[in-house]
Amino acid sequence: MATTVVLARRAHLVGRILSDRAVVARSCRRQVQTQSQVEETKDEITPVTEWVPHTGGKKSGRNFIDRMRCTAIGGSGGNGCVSFFRDVFVPRGPADGGDGGSGGDVWLEADSSETSLSCVKQWLKARPGSNGRGKSMHGGRGSDITIKVPQGTLVRQILVDNKEAQAEGPNPGLDRSSRFLADLETQMARRADDKASLFVHYPRWEDRNDLKGVRLPAEFKAFRWAMAHAPPLSADLTSHGQRVLVARGGLGGMGNPHFISTEDRQPHYALRGLAGQTRVLDLELKTIADVGLVGMPNAGKSTFLRAVSNAHPKVAAYPFTTLNPYIGTLTYDDAAQITMADIPGLVPGAHRNVGLGHAFLRHVERSRVLVFVVDVSRPEPWRDLQMLRDELDLYRSGLSARPSLVVCNKADAGDIARRNFEAWRLIAPDLNLVPVSAMLGKNIRKATHAVRQMLDSICVGRT
């Protein structure tokens, strides 16, 4: 009898192995078929790779973003648990519901390797805390999220009734965020009025729980007060590793043991976790470079930056070759290093948004020294300098008064350049003019040393 059973089992096993092999063989045959089909079609279809730059949801082709709005939402706290100790001969033990874990926080951190805000998503959400469980098991804390932003990022909170932000005109992003915040506030207010909704109830105890006399824990009330009275956030992330907490995670709810009182020894309710903080933020990148290059399109700013630093911005003989700010690092003989920012060229009327407008001037706003790059082979180059100064002052009054140097570029461009330079020196003897040929690398050291001297004198003046 036993031998028959063993034989039958073996036969069953052999059958299964054979059928498995058949399935494997069939799938292999199918793979071979598909491979041969692919090989057949390979010659007919040329593969096309579509490259879509990440533009933070915008449809423009730019992948450099220096201003954006985003919404940071802290993780919500986990709910407290309603549970009672049970054991053999202990059908209704004391309350042993665990507390919910608090939600994760949202942080912004300055990172020197980031150059644009394009990697920041529009919704920054931290993980929620997990709910408490029976046997006094507390829920875990939701994990924080840290978003890396470039050094020089200004963070400002936008309030729903922020007149300044609304004065900027209709903004679908802001309107959406405001609507979202307004909805959230109404929801929260409704919840705060309705005490019952702050609690989780034991199954079928919703109506029997009398919550009128229940006192909310002090920690819970303090958290809600702190959230409601938090001052508007404003931060400037200037140094690598500097962090700012932009949205706090919600407090975890308390389990039912927190509500044991002389009147109620067996509370059948526990507190829900609180929602995380929500903030609509305006992020603005103002690059921090020691020196800012300002000039008209085609003046040779990028050529100059290439000649003096380790940067390799694109150079071409047409205006607006540079479309994004570019930062280069200059290293001097004594190993001192300074940073220099190249921005798109300015044209007359930039304040009226002609050309690329004033949008990029924020990247030289923080520079301690300005280098005006002027094409000295153009007729009356001093007029170009005046135009540049006027545009700077129209962007921010007094900006052109910063310590500055005028690089008279294209000095190699024949007699006209030499004559212009001589005339300019006579017209403005006090001006810091340095003739340079960025293309040929002539007189570059004189310009870089003049910049260094200016920076050093500012530092000495400060100390």
Footprint of Mg ion (CB under 5 A): 302, 321-322
Across 315-458, where does the E strand assignment appear? 326-331, 337-342, 369-375, 404-409, 433-435
Residues 371/405, Cβ–Cβ less than 8 Å: yes
* Count of chain residues binding ligand GTP (CB under 6 A): 24
Residues 296/377, Cβ–Cβ less than 8 Å: no
Going by their DSSP bridges, the two strands 326-331 and 291-295 should be labelled as unpaired
Would you put residue 150 in left (φ > 0), alpha (ψ -120 to 50) or beta?
beta
Q: Which is nearer to ligand GTP, 137 or 413 (CB)?
A: 413
Q: Kind and range of the H or E element at 16?
A: helix 2-42
Cα(163)–Cα(160) distance, integer angstroms: 9
Q: Does 137 bind ligand GTP (CB under 6 A)?
A: no
CA atoms within 13 A on the CB side of 281: 31
Nearest C-alpha neighbor of 287 from the set 341, 345, 358: 341
Q: Does 322 bind ligand GTP (CB under 6 A)?
A: yes
Closest CB 108 distance from ligand GTP, rounded Å: 31
- Out of 209, 321, 324, 339, point to the residue binding ligand GTP (CB under 6 A): 321
Closest CB 243 distance from Mg ion, rounded Å: 34
Q: Is 32 helix (H, G, I), strand (E, B) or coil?
A: helix
Q: Does 414 bind ligand GTP (CB under 6 A)?
A: no
364 binds, among Mg ion, ligand GTP, none (CB under 5 to 8 A by kind): none
410 binds, among Mg ion, ligand GTP, none (CB under 5 to 8 A by kind): ligand GTP
- Locate all alpha helices (DSSP H) within 114-161, ordered by sequence: none
Closest CB 56 distance from Mg ion, rounded Å: 24
Q: Which is nearer to Mg ion, 72 or 343 (CB)?
A: 343
347 binds, among ligand GTP, Mg ion, none (CB under 5 to 8 A by kind): none
Q: Does 150 bind ligand GTP (CB under 6 A)?
A: no
Q: Does 412 bind ligand GTP (CB under 6 A)?
A: yes
Q: Does 160 bind ligand GTP (CB under 6 A)?
A: no
Q: Does 438 bind ligand GTP (CB under 6 A)?
A: yes
- Out of 14, 38, 230, 316, point to the residue binding ligand GTP (CB under 6 A): 316
Q: Does 302 bind ligand GTP (CB under 6 A)?
A: yes
Backbone angles phi, psi at 271, to 5 degrees: -85, 145
Closest CB 298 distance from Mg ion, rounded Å: 8
**Those residues with Cβ within 8 angstroms of residue 308's Cβ, 6 or more apart along the chain or in another chain:** 328, 330, 340, 444, 447, 448
Q: Does 317 bind ligand GTP (CB under 6 A)?
A: yes
Closest CB 146 distance from ligand GTP, rounded Å: 35
Q: Does 211 bind ligand GTP (CB under 6 A)?
A: no
Q: Does 298 bind ligand GTP (CB under 6 A)?
A: yes
- Locate all alpha helices (DSSP H) within 118-236, ordered by sequence: 163-167, 172-193, 218-228
Residues in the chain: 463
Nearest C-alpha neighbor of 434 from the set 285, 319, 300, 333: 300
Cα(76)–Cα(403) distance, integer angstroms: 51
Closest CB 360 distance from ligand GTP, rounded Å: 10
Across 204-273, where does the E strand assignment appear? 234-237, 243-247, 269-271
Q: How many helices (H) and strands (E) does the chain have?
A: 8, 16
Q: Does 381 bind ligand GTP (CB under 6 A)?
A: no
Q: Does 344 bind ligand GTP (CB under 6 A)?
A: yes
Q: Is 442 helix (H, G, I), strand (E, B) or coil?
A: strand
Closest CB 421 distance from ligand GTP, rounded Å: 13
Q: Does 217 bind ligand GTP (CB under 6 A)?
A: no
Q: Which is nearer to ligand GTP, 217 or 357 (CB)?
A: 357
Q: Which is nearer to Mg ion, 302 or 367 (CB)?
A: 302
- Locate all alpha helices (DSSP H) within 360-413, ordered by sequence: 381-395
**Those residues with Cβ within 8 angstroms of residue 217's Cβ, 6 or more apart along the chain or in another chain:** 254, 258, 271
Cα(372)–Cα(408) distance, integer angstroms: 8
Among the candidate windows 70-78, 138-146, 226-234, 405-413, which touches ligand GTP by CB under 6 A?
Answer: 405-413
- Out of 137, 188, 315, 387, point to the residue binding ligand GTP (CB under 6 A): 315
Q: Does 409 bind ligand GTP (CB under 6 A)?
A: yes
Residues 389/400, Cβ–Cβ less than 8 Å: yes
Q: Which is nearer to ligand GTP, 103 or 435 (CB)?
A: 435
Closest CB 347 distance from ligand GTP, rounded Å: 9
- Out of 437, 447, 448, 454, point to the residue binding ligand GTP (CB under 6 A): 437
Residues 98/136, Cβ–Cβ less than 8 Å: yes
Q: Does 443 bind ligand GTP (CB under 6 A)?
A: no
Tokens of 231: 């001052």
Q: Does 387 bind ligand GTP (CB under 6 A)?
A: no
Which residues are at the interface with ligand GTP (CB under 6 A)?
295, 297-303, 315-317, 319-322, 344-345, 409-410, 412-413, 437-439
